[in-house]
Amino acid sequence: MNHFAIALAASLLTVPAYSQPDREEPRYLDNRSTATDVVRSLYNAINRHEYLRAWSYFHEPERPDFENFAEGYAETEFARLEVSNEGSEGAAGTVYWTVPVAIEAVRSDGTTKLFAGCYTLSQANPAIQATPPFQPIGIRKGEIRETSGSLQDAIPTDCGDRNE
Q: How far apart are CA 123 and CA 10, in angstroms?
A: 46
Asked if residue 17 belongs to a domain, the reply is: no
Q: How far apart are CA 52 and CA 40, in angstroms?
A: 15
Q: Quick one: pLDDT band at residue 5, thresholds 50, 70, 90? A: very low
Predicted local confidence at residue 62, as pLDDT = 87
Asked if residue 143 belongs to a domain, the reply is: yes
pLDDT tens-digit map of 51-103: 999 999 999 888 999 999 999 999 999 999 999 999 999 888 999 999 999 99
Is the pTM of the predicted complex or chain greater than 0.85? no
Range of the domain at 103: 29-154
Count how many domains the chain has. Answer: 1
Q: How far apart are CA 17 and CA 22, in angstroms?
A: 9
Q: What is the CATH number of the domain that holds 134?
A: 3.10.450.50
pLDDT tens-digit map of 100-144: 999 999 999 999 999 999 999 999 999 899 999 899 999 999 999
Asked if residue 7 belongs to a domain, the reply is: no
Asked if residue 22 belongs to a domain, the reply is: no
Asked if residue 45 belongs to a domain, the reply is: yes
Asked if residue 118 belongs to a domain, the reply is: yes
Asked if residue 79 belongs to a domain, the reply is: yes
